[in-house]
Structure 1
Amino acid sequence: MELDFKEIATVGMVLFAVIDIVGTIPVMVDLKSKHGHIESEKASIVAGMIMIVFLFVGEELLKLIGIDVHSFAVAGSFVLFFLALEMILGIRIYRDEESSSASIVPIAFPLIAGAGTMTTLLSLKAQYQTVNILIAIVLNIIVVYIVLKSSAKIERMLGKNGLGVIRKAFGVVLLAIAVKLFAGNVKDLFL
């Protein structure tokens, strides 16, 4: 186990792109207007806990059902690919049910720590050191907390067009990461 700042930066960027907290600001503002106060601290802590627990027990869950990490990483690359397409093209491939409250359920899960994030964590675990992934999770949760706390200010500052540009830029980064993840793990399926 060794700290590698390049790995932390890479994993941090991947998680930032997948969580897409900046892209969900319009959703947060909408939830705030419908349901009042959003508990930023609680949502951030719960999302962080879900991610950390899944990082450690996710692989064991896969073994239990007979799936290896490389297969999951390849499947994860497809999920990332489609998430990236959603971000770049502005389309919705995956649809969540509408939630009735702005509690932990719609924000911490699935908005922050959703299926894409879980898949990404296990895919990253196949390629990077766990300690670096943990640090990247904590850094992302800090960013998530800051964005949740100041979502209305950020939306006013960037405007709709600014948010759109950021979302598309991270979509392209995510697409490149999906291709790299696929290429790095697909060969291990046939060994």
Structure 2
Amino acid sequence: MDFDLFVPSFVTLFVVMDPIGISPLFMALTQGMNAAKRRAVAIRACIIAGVLLTLFAFLGEGVLNFLGISMPAFRIAGGILLLLTALDMLFERRTQRRKDQSEETESDEDPSVFPLAMPLIAGPGSIATVILLAGQGDGLAGVGLALVVMSLVLVIAFVLFNAAPLLERLLRETGIKVVTRLLGMLLAALAVQFVLEGLRDFGLMG
């Protein structure tokens, strides 16, 4: 595994998946559940999201080749998508959409599949990021990198889900907003880097 790629890859997927931002919504979706049931929901959500992202890590580039889309083109498109996600985080539109999605499923007894696993964890941004990460290495090396990074982020998400009540008490609403905006700034820079790498692969930049 290329450790020079590991850190930026981990940071990218962590910021896109945003387990810190999802944790308060997890608490809202599981409100009234006992600790055992809440833990079961967290496990199911992370496993389902992991399966979805794994499928895209293995098949994503193959699907792109079938459609005649080059990896540089997808890298640029993915960078633009990540930039839009970053702007949503900076201006709090992403948080509001997640709140709307959680409110729509308040009566659902098991929110592990929807909206937790998808689209909150394995959303379009996470899927695009996994495909991009899998395409960074040669052959299975890129896929392995994507899977390791994805697994670590999902483990962190699971831990934060179980610590959601404590996290909410520590950060409060203002603290969560500050952290979300900081992550948004970092994601914007990483998104621009993806676009620049795609342009370089096309030969448009030296």
Matched, 1:146 2:159: yes
Matched, 1:106 2:115: yes
One-letter identity of the residue aligned with 1:65: L
Q: CA deviation at 1:92?
A: 4.4
Q: CA deviation at 1:152?
A: 1.6
Counterpart-to-counterpart distance in 2, 1:162 and 1:174: 18
Question: Equivalent residue for 2:130?
Answer: 121
Counterpart-to-counterpart distance in 2, 1:177 and 1:14: 7
Quick check: 174-183 or 59-68, which moved more? 59-68
Question: Aligned match of 1:159 in 136, 161, 172?
Answer: 172
Counterpart-to-counterpart distance in 2, 1:64 and 1:93: 35
For the Cα contact (< 8 Å) 1:70–1:123, is it kept in 2?
no
- Return 5+ residue gaps in structure 2 as ranges: none
Q: CA deviation at 1:35?
A: 7.6
Please give the TM-score of this superposition, normalised by the length of structure 2: 0.82
Question: Equivalent residue for 2:92?
Answer: 90
Question: Equivalent residue for 2:11?
Answer: 13
For the Cα contact (< 8 Å) 2:61–2:135, is it kept in 1?
no
One-letter identity of the residue aligned with 1:73: R
Q: Which string of whole-angstrom CA distances, capped at 9 and with x for unpartnered residues, describes residues 146-166 of structure 1?
A: 111121211111111111111
Query: Where do 1:8-87 residues align within 5 Å?
Result: 8-33=6-31, 37-38=37-38, 39-87=41-89
Counterpart-to-counterpart distance in 1, 2:154 and 2:176: 20
Please give the TM-score of this superposition, normalised by the length of structure 1: 0.88
- Return 5+ residue gaps in structure 1 as ranges: none
Counterpart-to-counterpart distance in 1, 2:120 and 2:86: 15
Q: CA deviation at 1:26?
A: 2.7
The percent identity for this pair of structures is 29
Counterpart-to-counterpart distance in 1, 2:145 and 2:61: 17
Q: Which string of whole-angstrom CA distances, capped at 9 and with x for unpartnered residues, describes residues 18-54 of structure 1?
A: 0011112232222123887541111111111111111
Alignment RMSD: 2.3
Counterpart-to-counterpart distance in 2, 1:5 and 1:124: 13
**Secondary structure of 1:67's aligned partner:** coil
Counterpart-to-counterpart distance in 1, 2:196 and 2:55: 27
For the Cα contact (< 8 Å) 2:134–2:144, is it kept in 1?
no
- Tell me which protein shows more helix as a share of its residues: 2
